[in-house]
Amino acid sequence: MRTPETWSVRDAPEEITVYEVGARDGLQNEQTVVPVEVKAEFIERLVDAGARAVELTSFVRGDLVPRMGDAEQLMARLSLPADVRSVALTPNLRGVQRALECGIREVAIFASATETFSQRNLNCSIDESLARFEPVVALARANGVAVRAYVSMCWGDPWEGVVPLEAVVRVGCRMMDLGASELSLGDTIGVATPGHVVALLDAFGAAGVARDRLAVHFHDTYGQALANAAAAIGAGVRIVDTSAGGLGGCPFAKSASGNLATEDLLWHLHGQGVRTGIDLAALVETSEWLAAHLGRPSPSRVVQALTR
């Protein structure tokens, strides 16, 4: 079978926005460094397949994150349709300046829900990171550029363990207060389960954040990503972050911890009659093509099943 049978579900949404993070979150966490022309073709193929929200790259220091050191060259190669949300990660003021020079339409920032990961990943406290984002968001918005905000470690932290709901809501709400228009809640280590997912969504609701501002971002480290996405959708979330082919986690590496694979989510959604606008077959072909460049099979089960 090349596509799932469609069995409509009562209360299922008509449409879900799939926010494609493969070119950024995915490739940034792959062992193989992909040449800029392959990245550009990958993104164009994603858009041709119907992706309408795509994270392109990260404007970081190339000496610190070599995989993303080609942001300007990549942007120069791309010519994306106006109806595509094309987003770049910009961790600081210099990043957003560079992104604006490239004509970016939307930027993303990221903070941690826990102090330990903030120190380890951003090298500063949560408060310091938020203070750093203030001029980033201000500059973006002054240029008519929307801001997406990520919160990582929302459901568990490898050093701190349990992450209180209040801690996540506090960080998320402060980013919204700065001027972000969308909040992506990340299960960075993949430990969440549905009751916890819904509890956090409800905590944001109680704090006044509307459901349509929330996205969910699950990693499949414990095999829970799709079931958690289903629970979030059941609770009213309409934006789900995924990576084509499950990029970012190699099934042959001990550190496998990739994003939810776009194809696996599409099978689940299309099977329920939920529209995504993405052509599954074209996406599978794209992931297979990229896997050849990465020199290993895709960890997406759907890609594996359909390319046998």
Beta-bridged to residue 19, according to DSSP, are 241
Residue 230 found at the interface with a copy of itself (CB under 8 A): yes
Beta-bridged to residue 186, according to DSSP, are 217
The CA distance from 2 to 299, in Å, is: 18
- Which listed residue (268, 276, 287, 291) binds a copy of itself by CB under 8 A? 268
Kindly report the backbone phi and psi dihedral angles of residue 161, in degrees, each rounded to the nearest multiple of 5, phi listed first.
75, -120
Closest CB to a copy of itself among residues 107, 165: 165
Residue 285 found at the interface with a copy of itself (CB under 8 A): no
- Which listed residue (108, 226, 290, 294) binds a copy of itself by CB under 8 A? 226
Residue 254 found at the interface with a copy of itself (CB under 8 A): yes
Long-range contacts of 68-71 (CB under 8 A, 24+ apart): 68/24, 68/28, 70/36, 70/39, 71/98, 71/99, 71/102
Residue 261 found at the interface with a copy of itself (CB under 8 A): yes
Q: Among this protein's residues, is 173 annotated catalytic?
A: no
CA 292, 297, 303, 305 torsion-angle sign = positive
The residues near 270 (Cβ < 8 Å, ≥ 6 apart) are 3, 4, 6, 276, 280
Residues 147-176 that bind a copy of itself (CB under 8 A): 155-156, 158, 161-162
The CA distance from 175 to 133, in Å, is: 8
Closest CB to a copy of itself among residues 58, 286: 286
Residue 23 found at the interface with a copy of itself (CB under 8 A): no
Please choose, out of 44-52, 56-64, 113-121, 223-231, the segment that lies near a copy of itself by the rule CB under 8 A: 223-231
- CA-nearest of 64, 62, 49 to 18 is 49
Catalytic residue IDs: 250
Interacting residues with a copy of itself (CB under 8 A): 1, 4-9, 12, 155-156, 158, 161-162, 189-196, 198-199, 220-224, 226-227, 230-231, 251-252, 254-257, 261, 264, 267-268, 270-273, 300-302, 304-305, 308
